[in-house]
Amino acid sequence: MTGKQTVVPLAGAANRQGRMAADNMLGRKETYHGTQGTAICKIFDLAVASTGKNEKQLKREGVEYQKVYVHTASHASHASCYQGKLQNGYLPGAVNIPVDQLRQRMNELPKDKEIIIYCQVGLRGNVAYRQLVNNGYKARNLLGGYHTYLFAKA
């Protein structure tokens, strides 16, 4: 990512370098072109992953970055949100407006207050955030959605 040398303590990269060293000793001409440094950790039902430098390293080095929260689920578990039901949980005081109804119901929301938007996993929340901001509302999107909020709260 940066082109600078760094330590990547992962078995895959070390294994590849060891095989390449052996090949080179036996006459092959191989060079190591680096690694992306992908790491994945799973704890019960929660999996976290990163590729390249992690958030802490990027902040320390003053590098701009983006992060994404991804929650896998079947389409069936998402169908209830489209219908406007809150079966999977919601934050206290929430006003439920499904994203496909937002353009028609936007007038129900106050323009003088900041609106915190969320959905179950973040995708529809981002769509709603864009719609509101583009129409002059003060809004924020809860990154990762309600699912990430529950993990952070636990």
The pTM of this model reads 0.50
Q: How confident is the model at residue 131 (pLDDT cuts 50, 70, 90)?
A: very high
Q: Residue with structure tokens 């990163």?
A: 50
CA-based R_g, the chain, Å? 22
Q: What are phi and psi of 69, to 5 degrees?
A: -105, 125
Q: CA angle at residue 145 from 141 to 149, to 5 degrees?
A: 110
The lowest-confidence range among 69-73, 116-120, 140-144 is 69-73
CA distance 31 to 66: 31
Report the pLDDT value the prediction gives residue 124, as an integer from 0 to 100.
82
Q: Are strands 139-141 and 115-117 parallel, antiparallel or unpaired?
A: parallel
CA distance 100 to 128: 9
pLDDT digits (tens, 9 = 90+) for 2-41: 677 777 777 877 888 899 999 999 999 998 887 777 878 8
